């Protein structure tokens, strides 16, 4: 850019260079459709923001079949089940037996790196350190106003804007109130998250319900593990000693089956608050929302990244049809198609959160009801199958948009 505002032209302007934005850019390029991705963070900043990732089989196939990378198969870990721990015992969901599927533990940062690297190899126009200051004319001919890290301003003119700029992004904010409905639920607790240098405590994830609150045993590598336990939203991790953390985790994992946590040095600790959120519709004029820009789920159901990729898959088909044939039929259907899966995932994630956590005002009746619900799910194959299907992602024939 020069001191005089420079104008760039493209078919699709994508605001946000996270997994959703980069995957859409990649798919559009394979269809011969031009795009520019605008991301205010640097490559290094995004890659160093560590986020866990559990990929549904559909997400894994999408990465491999579209030529992004197969590192998920070589560097990720295949999990054929998970355990729900209640009444002091593990109750395992066998994904392969119940639904013939498995999930892959593969950090979201590595998914993003795979996408960023393939776009770089293919010459994709990805502009890091570029902040979107405003978006105009989204109901007619959109223009995106930007400023780079050196303070130079410019304008991207396009036919379609995609808001993949996250839950705090600009795109969803520019939609007039009379054209949107926001659904929001705030949970009255958070997760205390630690990274620990140790051997895995289990080969698969363990979601724990106890009278003392929720805990989750997760894995990263053979020597680095991620553990969580329920805490107050305003908890200060700095006042927690390592001994206190281990005491609390062991209290919640206690049982009669001899399960033991693997201890080790805690190298990271923080508190993660979370909410449920959905924006309807996921379209306004020539602007389409995808990923966290349109919906947020609590981490309990491991749906966030998978929903973002599912949005992009549906949106790519709609944009491909529009640019190749001029038809807006699939564009007009995008929001309803995407929201079908979004609400199903919201329902599952909400159930997982409510059934496993202890609420501040929960009485003895409600705690007993939680346990009865868990037993109802695990005491029949039909109940276990429903859980396994929800966790691994729903069959394509059940969802119009996938």
pLDDT in tens, 123-176: 999 999 999 999 999 999 999 999 999 999 999 999 999 999 999 999 999 999
Tell me whether residue 254 is in a domain. Answer: no
Q: How far is Cα 118 from Cα 68, in angstroms, rounded to an integer?
A: 6
Q: How far is Cα 371 from Cα 116, in angstroms, rounded to an integer?
A: 44
Tell me whether residue 296 is in a domain. Answer: yes
Residue numbers annotated as active site: 79, 207, 299, 303, 391
Give residue 232's pLDDT: 97
- At residue 9, φ and ψ (nearest 5 deg) are -125, 140
Tell me whether residue 58 is in a domain. Answer: yes
Band (pLDDT 50/70/90 cuts) for residue 1 is very low
pLDDT in tens, 238-263: 999 999 999 999 999 999 999 999 99
Give residue 227's pLDDT: 96
pLDDT in tens, 263-318: 999 999 999 999 999 999 999 999 999 999 999 999 999 999 999 999 999 999 99
Q: What percent of the chain has pLDDT over 90?
A: 91
Tell me whether residue 96 is in a domain. Answer: no
Q: How far is Cα 105 from Cα 224, in angstroms, rounded to an integer?
A: 13
Give rounded-to-5 percent helix, strand, coil for the chain.
Answer: 40, 30, 35
Closest residue by Cα to residue 105 from 247, 211, 214, 222 = 222
Tell me whether residue 259 is in a domain. Answer: no
For 316-338, what is the mean pLDDT?
Answer: 97
Tell me whether residue 318 is in a domain. Answer: yes
Q: Cα dihedral sign for 275, 300, 313, 281?
A: negative
Give residue 220's pLDDT: 84
Tell me whether residue 114 is in a domain. Answer: yes
Q: Is 389 helix (H, G, I), strand (E, B) or coil?
A: helix
CA 248, chain centre distance (Å): 28
Cβ atoms of 304 and 275 within 8 Å: the answer is no
For 199-222, what is the mean pLDDT?
Answer: 94
Q: How far is Cα 368 from Cα 176, in angstroms, rounded to an integer?
A: 45
Region of residue 248 (phi > 0: left; psi between -120 and 50: alpha; otherwise: beta): alpha
pLDDT in tens, 344-364: 999 999 999 999 999 999 999
Give residue 3's pLDDT: 54
Tell me whether residue 241 is in a domain. Answer: no
CATH of the domain at 120: 3.50.50.60
Provide the residue range defining the domain that includes 124.
6-77+106-183+275-359
Structural domain count of the chain = 1
């Amino acid at each position: 850019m020069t001191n005089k505002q420079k104008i760039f032209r493209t078919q699709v302007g994508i605001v946000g260079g996270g997994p959703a934005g980069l995957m859409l850019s990649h798919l559009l390029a394979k269809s011969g459709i031009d795009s520019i991705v605008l991301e205010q963070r640097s490559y290094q900043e995004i890659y160093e923001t560590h986020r866990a990732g559990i990929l549904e089989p559909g997400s894994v196939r999408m990465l491999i079949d579209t030529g992004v990378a197969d590192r998920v198969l070589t560097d990720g870990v295949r999990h054929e089940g998970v355990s729900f721990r209640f009444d002091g015992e593990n109750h395992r969901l066998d994904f392969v037996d119940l639904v013939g599927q498995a999930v892959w533990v593969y950090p979201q940062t590595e998914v993003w790196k795979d996408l960023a690297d393939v776009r770089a190899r293919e010459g994709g126009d990805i502009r890091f350190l570029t902040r979107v200051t405003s978006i105009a004319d989204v109901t007619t001919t959109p223009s995106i106003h930007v400023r780079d890290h050196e303070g130079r301003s410019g304008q991207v003119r396009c036919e379609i804007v995609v808001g993949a700029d996250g839950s705090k992004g600009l795109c969803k904010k520019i939609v007039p109130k009379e054209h949107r409905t926001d659904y929001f639920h705030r949970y009255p607790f958070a997760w205390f998250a630690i990274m620990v240098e140790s051997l895995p405590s289990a080969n698969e994830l363990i979601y724990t319900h106890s009278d003392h609150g929720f805990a989750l045993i997760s894995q990263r590598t053979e020597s680095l593990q991620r553990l969580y336990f329920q805490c107050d939203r305003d908890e200060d991790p700095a006042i927690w000693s390592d001994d206190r953390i281990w005491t609390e985790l062991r209290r919640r994992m206690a049982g009669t089956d001899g399960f033991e946590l693997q201890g080790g040095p805690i190298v990271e600790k923080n508190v993660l608050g979370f909410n449920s959120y959905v924006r309807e519709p996921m379209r306004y004029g020539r602007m389409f929302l995808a990923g966290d820009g349109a919906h947020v789920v609590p981490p309990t159901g491991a749906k966030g990244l998978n929903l973002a990729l599912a949005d992009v898959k549906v949106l790519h088909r709609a944009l491909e049809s529009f640019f190749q044939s001029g038809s807006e039929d699939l564009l007009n259907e995008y929001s309803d198609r995407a929201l079908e899966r979004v609400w199903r995932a919201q329902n599952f994630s909400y159930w997982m959160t409510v059934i496993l956590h202890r609420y501040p005002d929960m009485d003895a009746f409600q705690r007993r009801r939680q346990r009865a619900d868990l037993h109802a799910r695990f005491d029949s194959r039909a109940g276990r199958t429903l859980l396994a299907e929800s966790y691994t992602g729903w069959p394509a024939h059940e969802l119009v948009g996938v």
